[in-house]
Amino acid sequence: MKKHIVQSIVPQSIAEECGFEKGDALLAINDSPIEDTFDYQYLTAEEYLVLKVETRQGEIVEVEVEKDPGEDLGLVFENSFMDDYRSCKNKCIFCFIDQMPKGMRETLYFKDDDTRLSFLQGNYVTLTNLSDEDIDRIIKYKMEPLNVSFQTMNPELRCKMLNNRFAGKALESAKRLYEAGIEMNGQIVLCKGVNDGKELEFSLNELYKYVPVLQSVSVVPVGLSKYREGLYPLEPFTKEDACEVIDLIEGYQKKAFEKYGLHFVHASDEWYLLAGRPLPEEERYDGYLQFENGVGMVRSFLTEFEDLFLEKYGVEAVLPEVFKNEPEKEDEKTSGETENFAKRTISFATGRLFGPILKQCCLNLERVYPDLRIRVYEIRNDFFGEMITVAGLITGTDLIAQLKDRTIGESLILPDTMFRFQEDILLDDIRVTEVESALHCRVDIVKSSGMDLIDIVSKYAV
């Protein structure tokens, strides 16, 4: 029987009235063991409870509680999840963690594959480590929506891609969840020559049968770092590949929308930028169900930027339909030049994927603030390799090395996606203060939104 140690008691709560103390351990509720927070929340929803407790002195006692339905007991546990996280047992051919060099902080190497975290935090899971009892619990507690990494609906191919002989059979769990009405979102990490082409078409055809319980599926290209020695040989996608993926997906979108009123499957932003095609209109993202998976981030940013730009300046922003990566201008490569043409200078740094979008937005802001020079530097990812183009995987080392001889101006503005959550530490443990010292400038950290772009620029334009 698990022991859940009490860390603290909420003042004036039921637990305080019952005499709970720090260090007590909750063992069971109404004779039912507690595996994790879901059991705890479910069992404590009742009006009458008998709590089995081991006091910090080691005495086993029963505590009777009468309360309102759903009223919280006021117990705070040392482990808020009340269980260990389940790690991934697969060896996926596309796993980015396997493509990371040694020597980084330990937490970056943890692979989670926990359906409970899928429900709580939106993580994607493979369903390969679930028992029948686990599925029963998901259905019983209605843990939805779940985010599922399908990769392919071909059982044999799924075993190969996940390097797990049970990975194909795990698809039966998805079917059970569908039949129970548990809402899901899906993901397919597309690998060239593996699960693309006819295999992708087969997978989408099978997943379409789960709509509308399956609310959405994102298709994202595999991320390839330079640390792939000994791993399955994978190649990057081309512009032509991206066009084929988009055409297939948009065909299913039309079919799903006509029948269900939702678009079902979505191509991540990278496909449209690689293909050189206009981004889908906002309505096609179905409320950005796959936003955290890189689907619609650019459209959302641009929509917010355009709306606020018009509201604040009274003119429409001028943005191209297609964003292209163009060579840097010569004045952006030199250092130490005198900014005679502008009273103030600020700089942004981002990844190569988002660079063209940010540059176009900043050109619009320069038009309304003619005395402000805004530089946008696209950071090449030397640490992981040039095929990694997102801002979230830029290291402090690359940032400093590539900007040390550049004109920064009053501030270097960085997106919060570059940093550890709610901290000022970059991926390679370099702090903001170290960046400021190395580049002799102030660093501002902002959210990646159109509103925050306009706000920070207007601050320096005053």
**pLDDT, tens digit (0-9, with 9 covering 90-100), for 8-29:** 999 999 999 999 999 999 999 9
Q: Choose the weakest-confidence range: 162-176, 304-318, 332-346, 418-432.
A: 332-346
The pLDDT > 70 percentage for the chain reads: 93
What residues pair up with 376 in beta bridges, in sequence order? 348
Contact by Cβ (8 Å): 6, 25: yes
Question: Among residues 269, 323, 264, 262, which one has the least CA distance to residue 297?
Answer: 269
112 vs 307, which has greater pLDDT?
A: 307
Q: Which domains does the chain have, with CATH numbers?
A: 4-77 (2.30.42.10), 97-294 (3.80.30.10), 300-461 (3.40.50)
**Matching residue, tokens 């797990």:** 164
377 vs 138, which has greater pLDDT?
A: 377
pLDDT band of residue 119 (cuts 50, 70, 90) is low
Q: Distance of CA 258 to CAs 207, 218, 252, 308, 414, Å? A: 17, 19, 10, 33, 42
- Strands annotated E in 366-448: 372-379, 411-415, 442-446
Q: Model's pTM, two decimal places?
A: 0.84
Average pLDDT of every residue of the chain: 91
Per residue in 202-248, pLDDT (tens digit) is 999 999 999 999 999 999 999 999 999 999 999 999 999 999 999 99
Residue 387 phi/psi, 5° resolution? -80, -10
Per residue in 185-197, pLDDT (tens digit) is 999 999 999 999 9
As to burial, measured by CB atoms within 10 angstroms (0-12 exposed, 13-18 middle, 19+ buried), residue 63 is middle
Q: What is the pLDDT of residue 86?
A: 72
d(C-alpha 448, C-alpha 451), whole Å? 9
What residues pair up with 29 in beta bridges, in sequence order? 32, 51
**Matching residue, tokens 């009490």:** 6
pLDDT band of residue 387 (cuts 50, 70, 90) is very high
What residues pair up with 360 in beta bridges, in sequence order? none
Please state the rounded mean pLDDT for residues 384-389: 94
d(C-alpha 18, C-alpha 393), whole Å? 49
Q: What is the pLDDT of residue 121?
A: 60
Exposure string of 218-247, with b = 16+ CB inside 10 Å and e = fewer, is: bbbbbbbbebeeeebebeebeeebbbbbbe
Q: What is the pLDDT of residue 333?
A: 40
Contact by Cβ (8 Å): 65, 48: yes
pLDDT band of residue 122 (cuts 50, 70, 90) is low
- Strands annotated E in 225-297: 265-267
Which range of 44-48, 84-88, 110-114, 302-306 scores highest in mean pLDDT? It is 302-306
Neighbouring residues of 420: CB distance < 8 A, sequence distance ≥ 6: 426, 427
- What's the helix, strand, coil split of the chain in %, to 5? 35, 20, 45
241-248, long-range: CB < 8 A, 24+ apart: 241/192, 241/196, 242/270, 242/271, 242/272, 242/274, 242/275, 243/275, 243/277, 244/197, 245/190, 245/196, 245/200, 245/219, 245/271, 246/271, 246/272, 246/275, 246/277, 248/200, 248/201, 248/204
Q: What is the pLDDT of residue 421?
A: 80
Per residue in 325-366, pLDDT (tens digit) is 665 554 444 333 444 455 799 999 999 999 999 999 999 999
d(C-alpha 350, C-alpha 358), whole Å? 8
d(C-alpha 38, C-alpha 116), whole Å? 8
Residue 82: both structure tokens together: 């009340």
